Chain A
């Protein structure tokens, strides 16, 4: 029973991390049809910015997370303005450009701070464990879940209640129609990139907490699982991404523990292929 609860919490914590990456990825693909291969790099940027702020600049943990998120948001906006926007008429080149960024940014991080993982300083309030129904669970699992829930709530409120949320929702449904109505949908592109970058960078900062360290390849490693979540949840659907990320995190943890190690990762990846083949509609944008 203890093991099940621990696996449950760890799986949900991992799922929360996936959600932070996948929510932005899903919105970006839903609105712009760009599969952002640089999203893992944005996560790494957030992680390293937060690590730098707390370990090198001596900031307090919460300020460091805010700093990391801000840097990631800035990086995402820069990426959209400098690379995605000029390639607007060449959709495939947009994807290729993000692939290039996804290669270059981790390499740069490796060049500056080395290839080895750097230990992430754990704040005293979040480093301990709590007992849940007899199981000893690290606190950071719950921090991640809380962050993911907050982001989910904020995104839903933004999409449902604000004017820009309305434009984003309409753009996911039918971009041409929104443009025809005289609304500059490109501003929404930058906004969606900013939101996605912020969520991914927050995920990166918290991934430092979850894994206990930051490494240059961390973001890229998480990206493939975020793709699974995006396809499972339906492109452009934030709630779908939330449900799917919890599912993927749990399946991975339980399968890795109860069967051979690595089988969980394998099953999730195979799940992606099966889903795409059985239900190609998972790729069509819809917002729920």
Chain B
């Protein structure tokens, strides 16, 4: 695959990465691992001390969505596939695991395996069909499939999915260690493990020969074809890996929230993932994770902040927009798309570029390098 080697990083870049990145991911992981033992108060950011169940629950959700966004970016940022139906595989993992326990009385581990297996199978089938069209056609096919899944779940066929209410997970079939508020720390560690797993899978696949071809497809699909490779198979692999990761995320979500609700299957859920990835920085290693954590935190905490005294005292012109997390996130998303291609992850590089360029108005800052744009 050396013919695609020009996309690989240069030696200087790689050395720079090693110097800068070797120490902080393990350090961050250690801090995250130890977080449940801390009683550090984080006023404003979290409602209670760091180790309290409420905070841990929110942090676990943040980590889970960080992982989900990282998995979604395998399609968007790494392979250049704009899927509007990623929530379908997340919801499949979620609902099938739940239903396997409720209807077949399977123990949790077996049910989770069935759930992830179904998500993988569905990704193979629908990916094989959907990838026959490319570009915006693919986006709309995935949207249609996901919408069909969403309608199906909401309509409650045969009383299986529970309609709008969803179905709660049977607590008696779960392992004892993950039930109840006193075990929130375990759930938090499970979410953290999911995130690490996703990061590892994405890192490993992207740096494999297949990952090189993905990068080639993202940059110029026609050229990959001219080089004698069929993009179809490579795209399908990306779709299935991402689908499987989303399915596993659904299982973690089931544990975290204790039930399956139709919101997980809605097209809004996919759009949320899209916003996370773009916000953080599509195609970068840490960007989607950052975006996922930030989005989830904002979605949960901005509502509380809006009800606090500082915001409630503001005139209506300011108070109303500030009380709507989705409005703020949507606006922020548009601003990032418009002004900051490459997302938040590209911010340090931009600041450095601005600093090193000593002119009052450095050229080339307004436009991002083509590769970093979505």
Contact = CB atoms under 8 A, between A and B. Distances in A.
A272 B144 contact: yes
Given A87-B337, A92-B374, A101 B136 contact: no
A288 to B, nearest CB: 20
Contacts of B145: 273
Interface in A29-66: 33, 35
B349 interface: no
Contact of A265 (B151, B323, B325): B151
A111 B341 contact: no
Given A99-B271, A224-B267, A277-B141, A104 B326 contact: yes
A231 B326 CA distance: 29
A1 interface: no
B136, B278, B374 interface centre (most CB from chain A within 10 Å): B136
A147 interface: no
Given A93-B341, A100-B275, A277-B132, A112 B147 contact: no
A108 B328 CA distance: 9
B148 A269 contact: yes
A107 interface: yes
B110 interface: no
Contact of A273 (B144, B268, B274, B278): B144
A92 B274 CA distance: 12
A23 to B, nearest CB: 18
B324 A110 contact: yes
B373 A90 contact: yes
Contacts of A112: 320
Interface in B300-338: 320-321, 323-327, 329-331, 333-334, 337-338
Given A86-B338, A92-B374, A273-B145, A108 B274 contact: no
Contacts of A269: 144, 147-148, 151
Contact of B275 (A103, A224, A265, A266): A103
A87 B373 CA distance: 12
Interface string B106-132: 000000000000000000000001101
Where chain A touches its partner, the secondary structure class is helix
Contact of A83 (B139, B271, B334): B334
A160 interface: no
Interface residues of B, number: 42
B374 A93 contact: yes
Interface in A94-153: 95-97, 99-108, 110-112
A106 B337 CA distance: 19
B210 interface: no
B274 A96 contact: yes
Nearest to A29: B136
A81 interface: no
Nearest to A112: B320
B143 A93 contact: no
A62 to B, nearest CB: 30
Interface in B346-374: 373-374
A101 B82 contact: no
A107 B328 CA distance: 9
B133 interface: yes
B143 A270 contact: no
Contacts of A270: 144, 148
A90 B374 CA distance: 9
A283 B327 contact: no
Interface residues of A, number: 41
B141 A92 contact: no
Nearest to B129: A277
Contact of B330 (A101, A260, A265): A101
Given A101-B334, A261-B155, A276 B133 contact: yes
B209 interface: no
B140 interface: yes
A111 B329 CA distance: 14
B82 A92 contact: yes
Contacts of A86: 338
Contacts of A189: none
B137 interface: yes
Given A103-B271, A277-B129, A93 B151 contact: no
A107 B324 contact: yes
Interface of B: 82, 129-130, 132-133, 136-137, 139-141, 143-145, 147-148, 151-152, 154-155, 267-268, 271, 274-275, 278, 320-321, 323-327, 329-331, 333-334, 337-338, 341, 373-374
Please name the 3 residue pairs, one residue from A and one from B, whose CB atoms are nearest each other, closest first.
Answer: A104-B330, A103-B330, A107-B326
Interface of A: 33, 35, 83, 86-87, 90, 92-93, 95-97, 99-108, 110-112, 224, 227-228, 231, 260-262, 265-266, 269-270, 272-273, 276-277, 280, 283
Given A112-B320, A265-B151, A269-B144, 17 more contacts: A90-B373, A92-B374, A93-B337, A99-B275, A103-B268, A103-B275, A103-B329, A104-B334, A107-B330, A111-B321, A111-B324, A227-B140, A227-B144, A231-B140, A276-B141, A276-B144, A283-B137
22 contacts: A33-B136, A83-B338, A86-B338, A90-B374, A93-B338, A99-B274, A100-B334, A103-B268, A103-B330, A103-B333, A104-B334, A107-B325, A111-B320, A224-B144, A260-B155, A262-B154, A269-B147, A269-B148, A273-B129, A273-B145, A276-B141, A277-B132
